[in-house]
Amino acid sequence: MPGFELFGAEEKKEVQDVLDNGVLMRYGFDPMRNGHFKALELEKDLSNRMQTKYAQVVSSGTAALTVALACAGIGSGDEVIMPTFTFVASFEAILSVGATPILCDIDDTLTLDPKAVEAAITPKTKAVMPVHMCGSMADLEALKAICDTHNLILLEDACQAIGGTYNGKPLGSYGDLGCFSFDYVKTVTCGEGGGIITNSETYANNMHKYHDHGHDHIGNDRGAEAHPFLGYNYRLSELNAAVGIAQLRKLDNTLAVQEKNYTVLRDALSTIPEVSFRKVPATGVENYSFLTIFLPDENLARNTHKALGTHGVDACFYWFDNNWHYYKKWEHLLEPQSLNKLSHEIQSGLQKNNKTFEASDVWMGRTVSCLIKLNWTEEEVTQRASKMVAAIKSVVSTQVSN
C-alpha cells in the first residue's frame, strides 16, 4: 500500500525542479519559479483523476477534513455523524471547527451503518462523514439518500481509500466533498499532505482562501490581497506537492499491483470455511490496500492475529484493541481531555458518545486486517498466502479439538 515503496527517479525529478528554482512556498515569488507551480499542478492532476471540477491540496489529511468542514459552513453548535472505526483525525477535525463529533455504529462494511445514522440525526446534525477505512467504502447510495432527505452534507473521508470507486465514480467524488491523506504510509504520498475534491464552486472558492489565511489570491501582489473572511495556514509546500505529482501518476499501476497481491491472498483464505470477508457494496470496487477478514468470534480473531505473527506474517492488525483507530481507546475524546477549554456546547454534545456501541463491537471484535504491500515478489506473496492459511488453520483446529 505505501507509496513510499515506489520512490524513484520520477519523484526526484519533480523535487529537483523545486530545488533548482529555490521557491519552496506555494504562493508568491513567481518570477523565480521557471514556470513550476507544483501545488497548482497537483490540484489539476487530482481533479482530473478524481473526475471533479475542483481540488485543493493542503498540509495533511487532517487539514483536508478541517478545511472541508469549515468551507461547508460547519461550526459551533453543529453535529457531525462519524463512525466508531476511523483514525483520530476524523474527530479532531470536527472539534477544530467548533462542531461536535457524534459517534455512530458500523455494519459489516466496517463503515457507517445507514440505519444507525438515521437514528443519530438530531436538529443539530449538519453533516454525515463516512470513513472509507482500509481501502473499502460505505453504502454511499443509502447515506446520500439520508442526507438528501434531511438536507445534510455528505463528506467522504477517503483518506485510506484513494483509487477505489463506487457506482463508477472515484471515492471522494460521490458526496458533496471528499478528502484524502497523502502522508507517508498512504497509497499516494507527499511525505505529508492532503487533498479535497468537490464539484461545488462555492466550496472551492472558500477552500483556496480559507487554507491560506483568508487570502483572496486576486492580482499579482500577495501583500495587497484582500481577506474576505478569516482563514488559517493549511498550505502544502512545493516540495511535498512535487512528490505527490509523481506519486499520483503511478496510482493506476499501484492499484493493479495491490489487486494482484490481494487476490492471491484472498483466494487462499477462501478455502477456509471459518473465514469470511468484509462486505463491499455491490457497485463498489475497493483499492485493495488491505485484506480484511472476519472470524466467527472475538476469541478466534484474537488468536488468529497472534498466530499470524508467530507464523511470520507481519503488518496485520486487530483493530478492536487499537489505540488510534477504534473508539474504545479514545479516552481523550470520551472524557474529554483538552489543553484548551472546550465550549459548553461541545462538552454537552460529547456526552452523547458516553455509551456502548454493541453492534460495532461485534464486527470489530471479529476483524483482522492485513496490509497489502507493493514490493512483494510473486514468490513472497505465495509464501505469505501459505503462512496465513497455516496460521488460521492452526487456530481453528485448536478450537475445534477443544
294: enclosing H helix or E strand:
strand 290-294
User: Which grid cell is 393?
Assistant: 488453520
Please say if 186 is a catalytic residue.
yes
| Strand pairing class (125-128; 276-277) | unpaired
| Strand pairing class (194-198; 54-58) | antiparallel
CB of 99 closer than 8 Å to CB of 69: yes
Dihedral sign for Cα atoms in the order 211, 215, 217, 220: negative
CB of 86 closer than 8 Å to CB of 78: no
Smallest Cα–Cα separation from 289: which of 384, 159, 141, 149? 159
Q: 267 vs 263, 292, 342, 375, CA distance in Å?
A: 6, 13, 49, 20
Integer Cα distance of 225 and 222 in angstroms: 5
Integer Cα distance of 71 and 53 in angstroms: 16
- Catalytic, out of 186, 209, 250, 373: 186
| Strand pairing class (79-83; 100-104) | parallel
Q: 146 vs 108, 141, 150, 175, 353, CA distance in Å?
A: 19, 9, 6, 12, 21
Integer Cα distance of 286 and 240 in angstroms: 26
Integer Cα distance of 299 and 130 in angstroms: 28
Q: 371 vs 133, 206, 248, 397, CA distance in Å?
A: 12, 36, 20, 25
Q: What is the dihedral of CA 265, 271, 272, 274, to 10 degrees?
A: 100
Just list the catalytic residues: 186
